[in-house]
Structure 1
Amino acid sequence: MSLLGRLRDKLRRQHEPALSVDDPALVVVVEAFDIAEADSAALARSPRWRADEPAVLRHHLRIPAEQVERARELLTPDGWVLVTGDISHISRVQKLDALHCAQERSRMASLAQRLGGEALGWDALQKADGPAR
């Protein structure tokens, strides 16, 4: 791509609306629920994941009901959104790569253990069609 084309794409991305964790256009592009699989392998096997675009990283945890507010207190300052149910979903918009996925998976496993819960895995969501070109 030419320099002018890259500049035009950069300017277009700057004017796109920010991604949010509850965007209805999001679809799952990567799933990682096997503890033995490296996060880099999960990303590599996904043909739908677009490394150059922001994504919603969503962790799936079981957290005891009496610990939900404590989890929220710990997660909110770092931009995580906690949605509770039988399985809690902890989500945040970020650029997705293997290093950050591994760091966050470790963090969520530690959090779940401290709160008497269980980390089940993670998935990542991106807009279905990607950005307009």
Structure 2
Amino acid sequence: MARDLNGHPVATGGLQRLFGRLRGGSGAASEPVPGDSDLVVVAECFDDTAAASTVLADSAWRESDQAVLRHLLEIPSDQIDAVADTAAQDGYEVVDAGDIDGPTAEPGPGMTRVALARTQLVDALHCSQERSRMAGLGARHDGTVLGWQVLQRPVA
């Protein structure tokens, strides 16, 4: 099922699915989900001062395609469950942070890197809103946000 700019499911009618298949899409089965091994990073930013609009404009991101928006946070190890529970209220799930080629410094003592991701359409405004939401989540749990990534399926 397709997702909107806020990650909420959007129902598609039978005709929309049929036209999508005729255009070469494979329907609902083609929606990326967090943790898909075939997704590639099409945009990323580990600089708090960079505008999402600039990062997205200079990237391989495809505006009309569904994507996975992934945020990398560094939080105290004892706060992982609380952060995951809060993020889950907005459709985020914890995914493996081991493959993220972001900041290279190791987490500080007692800190853990956590990646939170959800499927949604991405645009600069909503990406910025989610960055802000993650910054607040990190700060409430004595952590920090390291960066964000947009992942999509590679172009065939």
TM-score, with length taken from structure 1: 0.84
For residue 146 of structure 2, what is the aligned residue in structure 1?
A: 120
Task: Calculate the aligned-residue CA RMSD, in Å.
Answer: 2.1
Distance 1:108 1:16 in 2: 28
The alpha-carbon distance between structure 1 residues 65 and 35, as it changes in their structure 2 partners (threshold 3 A), is: same
Shift of residue 38, structure 1, vs aligned partner: 0.5
Asked if 1:50 is matched to 2:62, the reply is: yes
Asked if 1:62 is matched to 2:88, the reply is: no
- AA aligned to 1:123 is Q
User: 1:26-37, aligned counterparts within 5 Å?
Assistant: 26-37=39-50
Distance 2:134 2:127 in 1: 10
Shift of residue 26, structure 1, vs aligned partner: 0.2
Give per-residue Cα distances to partners, 1:37-64, cap 9 Å, x unaligned. Answer: 1100000011x21100011000010011
For residue 137 of structure 2, what is the aligned residue in structure 1?
A: 111
Task: Say how many residue pairs are matched.
Answer: 124
- AA aligned to 1:77 is Q
Give per-residue Cα distances to partners, 1:86-109, cap 9 Å, x unaligned. Answer: 421000000000011000000000
Q: Which runs of 5+ in 1 are unaligned?
A: 1-5
**% of aligned pairs identical?**
40
SS of equivalent residue, structure 1 residue 49: coil
For residue 20 of structure 2, what is the aligned residue in structure 1?
A: 10
Q: Which has a greater percent of helix?
A: 1
Asked if 1:99 is matched to 2:125, the reply is: yes
TM-score, with length taken from structure 2: 0.72
- With 97-106 and 76-85 compared, the bigger mean Cα shift is at 76-85
User: 1:74-93, aligned counterparts within 5 Å?
Assistant: 74-83=86-95, 86-93=112-119
- AA aligned to 2:94 is L
